[in-house]
Structure formats: structure tokens, C-alpha cells
């Protein structure tokens, strides 16, 4: 009964709040998934030592056996559990969920440049993020990237402290992120793929959580998280997402003509209102029908006083004013 009531309340929410709450829920889920993997060292020991729930029960008792069975079942959604846990260590470059492969686009480029080839399954995994970007744009940043939760929180802290303190809003050329991507690829080619745990915010967060929980040690990636924190707090509203993260820039480029984005009803739009542009994490303006780099986070729809914004299929004339590639 309570679940039915909850579903009914969710249905009554405006579209913007639905998107915002859903984006927060999916990013929290990814964060919990990383945390869960970090807690699974005991499972890994049982798996490599026994590979049998019955033997685990005989060795460590009924509770350990039940925990092993539950974990084993869950991890098989990601194919080989041992291979996944040993290979990921907080860096989910390429995984399979229910048999569907997912590959990080930056990982794909890094592997291709380093090895001059790519396994078929790894390459096929690129189709999912590319398809998502083509259809929905830069949604990775608002629905998958766990580090964006950090930036989401910092934005609110910055906004609150802005009542008493002045915070500048620096702007940089969006070519800077392309430079970060190029520099990372060259470094990975020369020294290995580990450089991405320092450059990509979501890898830095994954490594920091995994090392802290699984090994009880601080990862060097924590210094990258501190740097990203300072950038967002001091330099500008979600500065890292806008100007630094190469994955966001790459996916934004791929989805620059996405099919679904935020649409504006110009008949309802208030002429002197710029609240949607002020709140947008990516610094774009739905008021000007800009759609490139839109993450469909829903924040502009939540704050719009005229309720003139909604997600939908873009038509030919929409998004032409956007110059943000």
C-alpha cells in the first residue's frame, strides 16, 4: 500500500523534479555499487579458495554461506565475478550487465592508442554510451558519473556561502578539456592507463573509495578529488564538468545534435528571466534554445517560474543558437 502511494506521488511530480530525483538516484546507485565491490574482499577469498557455497558453509558457517550465495548471484549479472572484481578495483572501464557490454569511451581510445587494437567485445561495448549520447546527449554526467554528486553538492555549498562571500565565475575555452584528453592519451601511451585515475573525476572517486575500504589505504587519486573540489568551489559553478573533464567533453561532442533534449515553449517564456541559464550545471541557456552539452538533469525545469521547459524531441529549428561544442 505504501509503495503504491509512493508511485502515485512520483507520478504527480513535475517532469523536472522527476528527472532530478531520478538522476540523483542513479548516481547514488553507482556510488553504492562501487562501495559494495570494495567490501567484497572476503567474497573474493572464498571464491578463489572454495568456489562452492557448500564448502564456504562448512568452513565458516551458515551466515557466510548465505552471504556468499547472494553475492555470487549478484555478481554474475556482471559475468565472471573474479575477473570483474580483480580487474575493476574501482575502475569500471568495461563491464557486462545482464550480458550487455558497456565500455568507457576514453578507455576505448586509450586502449586503441596503447595497443593499436581492441578486442571485439570491448569495441562493441562502446555502442551503448555512443547510442545514449546520440539520443540523449551528455546524460552520462547527470545519471552515471558518481563524481558529479560531489560537484552537485559543492554547487549548493557555493550557492549558500555566496550569501556572505564573493565567488568568481571563471570561464575557460572548452578546448582545454580536449587538451586534457590529448595529454592523458599521450601519457597513457607512454606510461600506462593508470594516469586516468588522476585525470577522470569518476575514476578518481572510484579508486579513492575502493582503496580506502578494501585495502585501508589512501589512494593517490584522493589528491585529484581535492583538486577538483577546489576548482568547483573557488573557480566556478561545476567548473570541472564544464571545462576539465574530457569524458564529458567527448560525449557532449558526440551528442551535440542529440534527438532528445530540453525544449522551450517560447510563448510561455518570460522575456527578462534567466533563471534556467543561471542554474544550469553546464552553463548553457535553455532560454536561447541551447542544447549542446545538456545533461537532462532537470534543474532548469525545476526552477523555471513559467513552466515553459520540458524534455522532448528537438525539431530542426531548435538548438541552432548553440555554439558550445
Classified as helix, coil or strand, 167 is coil
247 vs 210: which has the higher pLDDT: 247
CA distances from 30 to 26, 105, 146, 218, 298 (A): 6, 18, 6, 21, 19
E strands within 60-199?
94-97, 100-103
- For residue 222, the surrounding DSSP H or E stretch is helix 221-230
In the predicted structure, residue 3 carries a pLDDT above the cut 90 = no
226 vs 115: which has the higher pLDDT: 226
In the predicted structure, residue 121 carries a pLDDT above the cut 70 = yes
Closest CA to 260 of 137, 130, 144: 137
What is the per-residue pLDDT for 320? 45
What is the per-residue pLDDT for 189? 92
Residues near 10 by beta carbon (within 8 Å), at least 6 away in sequence: 18, 21
Q: What's the DSSP call for residue 116? A: S
Confidence of residue 187 (pLDDT cuts 50, 70, 90): very high
CA distance 189 to 193: 8
CA distance 245 to 47: 37
The arithmetic mean of pLDDT across residues 5-14, rounded, is 65
Confidence of residue 95 (pLDDT cuts 50, 70, 90): low
Sign of CA dihedral 315, 319, 321, 323: negative
Residue pointed to by grid coordinates 547510442: 131
For the ranges 37-41, 79-83, 102-106, 246-250, the lowest mean pLDDT is seen at 79-83
- Torsion region of 315: left, alpha or beta (phi above 0 gives left; psi -120 to 50 gives alpha): beta
The arithmetic mean of pLDDT across residues 43-66, rounded, is 77
Classified as helix, coil or strand, 247 is helix
pTM of the model: 0.81
Residue pointed to by grid coordinates 552471504: 67
CA distances from 100 to 15, 122, 125, 128, 314 (A): 29, 11, 8, 9, 28
Question: Any idea what the Cα angle at residue 195 is, between residues 180 and 223, rounded to 5°?
Answer: 90
What is the per-residue pLDDT for 323? 45
CA distances from 98 to 74, 87, 101, 124, 206 (A): 10, 18, 8, 15, 22
In the predicted structure, residue 321 carries a pLDDT above the cut 60 = no
Classified as helix, coil or strand, 120 is helix
**Is beta strand 100-103 parallel, antiparallel or unpaired with respect to 309-313?**
unpaired
What is the per-residue pLDDT for 23? 93
Q: What's the DSSP call for residue 227? A: H
Give the CA count within 13 Å in the CB-facing half-sphere of 285.
11
CA distance 16 to 294: 13
Q: What's the DSSP call for residue 65? A: H
For the ranges 11-25, 76-90, 97-111, 268-282, the lowest mean pLDDT is seen at 76-90
Classified as helix, coil or strand, 264 is strand
In the predicted structure, residue 130 carries a pLDDT above the cut 60 = yes
E strands within the chain?
94-97, 100-103, 260-264, 309-313
Taking a C-beta distance cutoff of 8 angstroms, is the pair 262, 179 a contact? no
What is the per-residue pLDDT for 325? 45
Find the length of the chain: 325
Amino acid at each position: 500500500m505504501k509503495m503504491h502511494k509512493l508511485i502515485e506521488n512520483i507520478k504527480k511530480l513535475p517532469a523536472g523534479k522527476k528527472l532530478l530525483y531520478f538522476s540523483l538516484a542513479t548516481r547514488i546507485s553507482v556510488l553504492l555499487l562501487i562501495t559494495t565491490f570494495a567490501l567484497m574482499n572476503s567474497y573474493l577469498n572464498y571464491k578463489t579458495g572454495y568456489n562452492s557455497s557448500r564448502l564456504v558453509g562448512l568452513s565458516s558457517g551458515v551466515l557466510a554461506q548465505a552471504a556468499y550465495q547472494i553475492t555470487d548471484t549478484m555478481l554474475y549479472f556482471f559475468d565472471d565475478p573474479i575477473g570483474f572484481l580483480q580487474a575493476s578495483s574501482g575502475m569500471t572501464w568495461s563491464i557486462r550487465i545482464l550480458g550487455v557490454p558497456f565500455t568507457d569511451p576514453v578507455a576505448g581510445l586509450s586502449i586503441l592508442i596503447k595497443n593499436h587494437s581492441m578486442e571485439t567485445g570491448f569495441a562493441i561495448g562502446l555502442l551503448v554510451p555512443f547510442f545514449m549520447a546520440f539520443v540523449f546527449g551528455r546524460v552520462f554526467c547527470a545519471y552515471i558519473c558518481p563524481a558529479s554528486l560531489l560537484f552537485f553538492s559543492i554547487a549548493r555549498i557555493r550557492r549558500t556561502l555566496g550569501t556572505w562571500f564573493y565567488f568568481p565565475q571563471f570561464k575557460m575555452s572548452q578546448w582545454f578539456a580536449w587538451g586534457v584528453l590529448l595529454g592523458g592519451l599521450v601519457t597513457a601511451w607512454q606510461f600506462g592507463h593508470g594516469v586516468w585515475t588522476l585525470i577522470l573525476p569518476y575514476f578518481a572517486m572510484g579508486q579513492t573509495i575502493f582503496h580506502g575500504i578494501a585495502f585501508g589505504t589512501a589512494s593517490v587519486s584522493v589528491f585529484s578529488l581535492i583538486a577538483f573540489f577546489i576548482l568547483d568551489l573557488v573557480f566556478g559553478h561545476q567548473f570541472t564538468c564544464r571545462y576539465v573533464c574530457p569524458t564529458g567533453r567527448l560525449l557532449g561532442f558526440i551528442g551535440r545534435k542529440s534527438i532528445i533534449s530540453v525544449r522551450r515553449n517560447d510563448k510561455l517564456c518570460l522575456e527578462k528571466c534567466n533563471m534556467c541559464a543561471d542554474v544550469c550545471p553546464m552553463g548553457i541557456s535553455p532560454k536561447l534554445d541551447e542544447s549542446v552539452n545538456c545533461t537532462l538533469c532537470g534543474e532548469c525545469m525545476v526552477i523555471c517560474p513559467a513552466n515553459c521547459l520540458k524534455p522532448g524531441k528537438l525539431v530542426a529549428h531548435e538548438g541552432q543558437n548553440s555554439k558550445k561544442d
